[in-house]
Structure 1
């Protein structure tokens, strides 16, 4: 059984946001994915803590992360983001997944687990793993697309304002040249009259 939470949120400058996931049993897999979609230089600080507030993972100035770890304690795990070093809002995609796999317990006389599963169960398990891999790859490409789109918009804005500035400079220099020529010829015509 898999429980998952995916969301997109904005974190303001100087703000800290935390999210929580409950783990009901030891040995459950916890998947954690985040990506900064826009804002500043696409970097954020994060920390993951277990129920005893011990830091399991942390990073500074990270653009994205994709982690899977095994929960060794039952309770509420904390996923925090800090935007204290930046002066701009950050848009962040977040996905937290807690996976509880039903595990068969075998006695010493029973055959290994592989002999108990059918070919269909094995291929279903492999397909599930491949689909998870594809979903994570799609998230990665979505993040790259969004960042590249943001860069293109920023470049277009800079080109527009540079073009406006260049046009103003051309008009001002043209007017200045006309004024210089008028004053030059008006002074020159006074010399010939004398």
Structure 2
């Protein structure tokens, strides 16, 4: 088990090997970044664990292909970042990893460079983000209006259908009433003339 100063490395692990790398946090709460990716070997997986200065476990997992973590150091002191290839009987693993601490300003690691690039990109695309936000808000308003008009359309369509049904049934009832009244009038007139004929005889 070797002790190394932590930085960006590519490390080849032999079968059954456990390798640890160390970085020192100068104060509690210091931000630490830990990234790794298995580049070759077996199922491209490895066990890892991160331990604090007092032996407390911070991160741990088995058979992981890659990981990207940022955490606050619980205590000042030396933190260990260990990889284990004990599950492999014959296969060696090649691991790319990067460990950085907040105070390590001289290390130009891919993680630090990537963060710097992201900050620069954020500054450059801020006007674009604001424009997209405004456009998103406008589209949201348009969608709300569409939903409102669709609701109004559905309600008006239901009102029209209800009115059409009422007109149909009212017209049907009116026609039926006219027929009934006509038949009744014919019956009354026929009865009147029949009674009048009998009275004359």
* Residue 128 of structure 1 pairs with residue 116 of structure 2: yes
CA distance in 1, matches of 2:57, 2:121: 26
Cα deviation, 1:127-186, whole Å, max 9, x if unaligned, reads: 83715999xxxxxxxxxxxxxxxxxxxxxxxxxxxxxxxxxxxxxxxxxxxxxxxxxxxx
Work out which structure has the larger RCO, using CA pairs closer than 8 Å and 6 or more positions apart in sequence: 1
Choose from 95, 99, 121 the match for 2:102.
99
Q: Determine which structure has the larger strand proportion and give its number.
A: 1
In 2, distance between residues paired with 1:62 and 1:133?
31
Quote how far apart the aligned CAs of 1:59 are: 0.7
Pairing of 1:69-84 with structure 2 (within 5 A): 69-84=71-86
Q: How many residues align?
A: 107
Go from structure 1 to structure 2 and tell me whether the alpha carbon gap of 1:130 and 1:31 turns closer, same or farther (over 3 Å shift). Answer: same
Tell me which residue corresponds to 1:20: 22
Q: Distance in 2 between matches of 1:7 and 1:132?
A: 26
> Which of 1 and 2 has greater Rg?
2
Q: Secondary structure at the match of 1:20?
A: strand
TM-score (norm 2): 0.49
More helix as a share of residues: 2
Determine the structure 2 residue equivalent to 1:44: 46
TM-score (norm 1): 0.51
Counterpart CA distance in 1 for 2:99 and 2:44 is 20
Q: Secondary structure at the match of 2:86?
A: coil
Runs of 4+ in 1 over 2 A off after TM superposition: 131-134
Post-superposition CA distance 1:9-36 (Å, at most 9, x none):
1000001000000111122100000000
Structure 2: tracts of 5 or more residues without a match: 105-114, 123-201
